[in-house]
């Protein structure tokens, strides 16, 4: 079983500052924010990373991106712009092995990332 701290948040065993939830996804504030707005959007389904998503997850992946945009809008980021990132594997900087999209904004973001 792919149990992670995000699994614990989904089960209510670890508390989180939830900003959105529906049947397939939840969104909550990152514990270590890298921007004034830093929200994580995760599926309820335990998928390890984008690399582990299957063809049958295509609709869910689209939904998660729509949730990212919805959260960004609710956080007031749509006009100024924002970034959506998913880290994959060790070299991609992934530390929690439950698929998640970072929604970052509220300041001018640099490119390329480090
Ligand atoms: P990544 O490095 O891409 O796997 O991002 C994992 C993010 O998860 C990282 O920015 C910190 C955040 N995080 C880790 N543990 C917790 C937690 O218990 N609660 C919350 N809200 N965020 C967490």
Which pLDDT tens digit goes with each residue over 81-110?
A: 999 999 999 999 999 999 999 999 999 999
Rounded distance from Cα 110 to ligand 1 centre (Å): 21
CA–CA distance, 63 with 96 (Å, rounded to integer): 21
Ligand 1 pocket mutation, candidates 6, 9, 31, criterion most atoms within 8 A of CB: 31
Q: Which stretch of DSSP H or E encloses residue 90?
A: none
Q: Is the pTM of this model over 0.85?
A: yes
Q: Which of 39, 59, 45 is nearest to 98 (CA)?
A: 45
State pLDDT tens for residues 63-86. 999 999 999 999 999 999 999 999
| Whole-number Å distance between alpha carbons of 55 and 38 | 28
Please report which residue ranges of 75-113 form alpha helices under DSSP H: none
Please identify, by atom number, the ligand 1 atom nearest to the C-alpha of residue 94: 4
**Rg (Cα) of the chain, in Å, rounded?**
14
**What architecture does CATH give domain 5-105?**
2-Layer Sandwich (3.30)
């Amino acid at each position: 079983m792919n149990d992670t701290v995000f699994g614990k948040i989904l089960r209510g065993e670890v508390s989180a500052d939830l900003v959105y939830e529906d049947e397939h996804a939840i969104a909550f504030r990152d514990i270590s924010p890298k921007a004034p707005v830093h929200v994580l959007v995760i599926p309820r389904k335990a998928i390890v990373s984008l690399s582990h998503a299957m063809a049958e997850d295509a609709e869910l992946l689209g939904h998660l991106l729509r949730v990212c945009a919805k959260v960004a809008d609710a956080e007031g980021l749509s006009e100024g712009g924002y970034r959506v990132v998913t880290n994959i594997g060790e070299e991609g900087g992934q530390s929690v092995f439950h698929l998640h999209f970072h929604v970052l904004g509220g300041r001018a973001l640099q490119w390329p990332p480090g």
